[in-house]
Amino acid sequence: MLENKNVALYVSGGIAAYKAADLVRRLIKQGANVKVGMTASAMEFITPLTFQILSKHHVYTDTFDEREEDKVSHIHLADWTDIAIIAPATANVIAKVANGIADDFVTTALLATTAPIFVVPAMNSHMLENPATVRNLATLRADNRFVMEPETGFLAEGYEGKGRLPEPSTIVESVKQFIVSQQLDLPLKHKRIIITAGGTKERIDPVRYITNDSSGKMGYSLASVARDMGAHVLLISATKQLKRPLGVDVVEVDSASEMLEAVMAEYDSADIVVMAAAVSDYRPKKQAAKKIKKSDESLTIELEKTTDILYQLGHTKKNQFLIGFAAETNNLEVYAKEKLERKKADMIVANDVSKADVGFNKDTNEVTIFIPNSEPTIVSIRSKKEVAIEIFNVAIKQMRR
Ligand SMILES: Cc1cc2nc3c(=O)[nH]c(=O)nc-3n(C[C@H](O)[C@H](O)[C@H](O)COP(=O)(O)O)c2cc1C
């Protein structure tokens, strides 16, 4: 995937700059051609010579150090680049790139780059949480820059926090996934995909309902990733809170039975169905036509089972590849494997929603992917978009078997 790709690696002045040396080695091992640019602060942490030896190329540090008469080096590097990586990306470089500032070699070359830019922030947790950094990262994302999620752990400052540079091996994997999502040779081209998202609502009366904590963020991330991989996506959404992804067909539903109806209407023509929605298992047996008035008595609401959509899809499927989700608080593996078999799904994505930063309503997720007769794939904590890429990568590999 990285074979013969021209990678411009920009190193800025963070304590994790030394890890960029290992990153260069790993990128080259994957077949990439790597050229490195460094900020002046980065050179306080690691020398250009290290990168020159590893990359076997001149290291760019000074905008005005023009050694080739017929080339302007920052433009030449920018035009040569297939993918630009900023790792580590300091708060300062992030701020400059987000605002189009070009006052050194790195930021000038980045401003001139039309290739995709992959940003790997690394900094103290308080710098990361600073509203200015939050704003700048949001600007980068809005500008279609890919921002990798920093890791949580023991920081150089001597305390736990979010802001660590992910291990170079993790960065390389994420870059590879990113390349797949950017590729012209799109892996899901011509595939029709149904994705469900959000928590269904089961009415008690006109103003009350039963629902769950699902935000729909995982389903929406899956929808935009599937679209980027070339699929025709129908998103059946039980939430109205999230921004509709461009280029995706959206059908809004409320209840489990509406969701079932919407999925079944398109099921025959689908190649892949991803049931990421949290569907109510029960609904009130009777729905009051008028608001139930408060009284001194206690109130009992009788519940009946809803149709298990995943089970129904599994037991009526033809060639569709069926992906289910299992949000559990305990016995994850046992429940996921049981669900895979009983519902005749092709893949179960399980997450332990009792963990912090995982599952419902969060922006990050950590999942284990189960497929029949194979070892599970563990996807460590990362943004829901990155998790979505990994889910489709595993599904694509399995479908090609
Ligand atoms: C010991 C030390 C460690 C630093 N680590 C980081 C870091 O991990 N992330 C960061 O954003 N800034 C860090 N800084 C601050 C940056 O070096 C500083 O903001 C600098 O201006 C960044 O320049 P650059 O973005 O051009 O590389 C560190 C500074 C020092 C002295």
Is-contact 379 357, C-beta < 8 A? no
Task: Give the CATH number, domain containing residue 202.
Answer: 3.40.50.10300
- CA–centroid distance for 193 within its chain: 18
Residue 184's pLDDT is 44
> For the domain that residue 96 is a member of, what is the CATH number?
3.40.50.1950
Task: Give the Cα separation of 249 and 231 in Å (integer).
Answer: 11
pLDDT digits (tens, 9 = 90+) for 184-205: 457 887 799 999 999 999 999 9
Low-confidence ranges of the chain (pLDDT < 50): 184
Choice among 212, 319, 330, 365 that is catalytic: 212
Rounded (5°) CA angle 167-229-135: 55
Residues 157 and 222 in one domain: no
| Ligand 1 contact via 14 beta carbon (within 6 Å) | yes
Question: Are 117 and 222 part of one and the same domain?
Answer: no
Structure tokens at 187: 């892996």
% of residues, the chain, pLDDT over 90: 81
Nearest CA to ligand 1 atom 26: 39
Q: Rounded to an integer, what distance in angstroms lies between the CA atom of residue 56 and that of residue 39? A: 19
Dist. CA 15 → ligand 1 center (Å): 7
Per-residue burial over 336-366, b if 16 or more Cβ lie within 10 Å, else e, is bbebbeebbbbbbbbbbbeeeebbbebebbb
Output the residue whose Cα is nearest ligand 1's atom 6.
14
Closest CA to 212 of 105, 359, 29, 26: 359
Asked if residue 1 is part of any domain, the answer here is no
pLDDT in tens, 54-67: 999 999 999 999 88
Q: Give the ranges where 198-237 is alpha helix by DSSP (H).
A: 217-228
The answer to whether residue 187 sits within a structural domain is no
Whether 368 lines ligand 1, by a CB cut-off of 6 Å, is no
Pair (126, 66) in one structural domain: yes
% of the chain residues with pLDDT over 70: 97
Residue 367 phi/psi, 5° resolution? -135, 160
Q: What is the pLDDT of residues 97-116, one digit of tens each?
A: 999 999 999 999 999 999 99
Q: What value does the mean pLDDT of the chain take?
A: 93
Residue 317: HSE in the Cβ half-sphere, 13 Å Cα cutoff: 21
CA distance 263 to 267: 6
Confidence (pLDDT) at 352: 83
Q: Give me 114's structure tokens.
A: 């039309």
33 located within any domain:
yes
Same domain, 134 and 249: no
Residues spanned by the domain of 272: 192-289+299-400
Atom number, ligand 1, closest to the C-alpha of residue 107: 26
- Which pLDDT score is estimated for 183? 61
pLDDT at position 103, please? 96
**With a 6 A CB cut-off, is 161 part of the ligand 1 pocket?**
no
The verdict on whether 212 is a catalytic residue reads: yes
Rounded Cα gap, residues 277 and 305, in angstroms = 17
CB atoms within 10 A of CB 252: 14
As for how many domains the chain has, the answer is 2
* Closest by CA position to 89, among listed 98, 81, 102: 98
pTM of the model: 0.54
Q: Do 164 and 227 share a domain, yes or no?
A: no
CA–centroid distance, 17 to ligand 1, in Å, is 10
Q: Which strand (E) or helix (H) includes residue 50?
A: helix 48-55
Residue closest via CA to ligand 1's atom 2 equals 15
| Beta pairing partners, 118 | 85, 146
pLDDT at 71: 87
**Residue 261, SS3 per DSSP:** helix
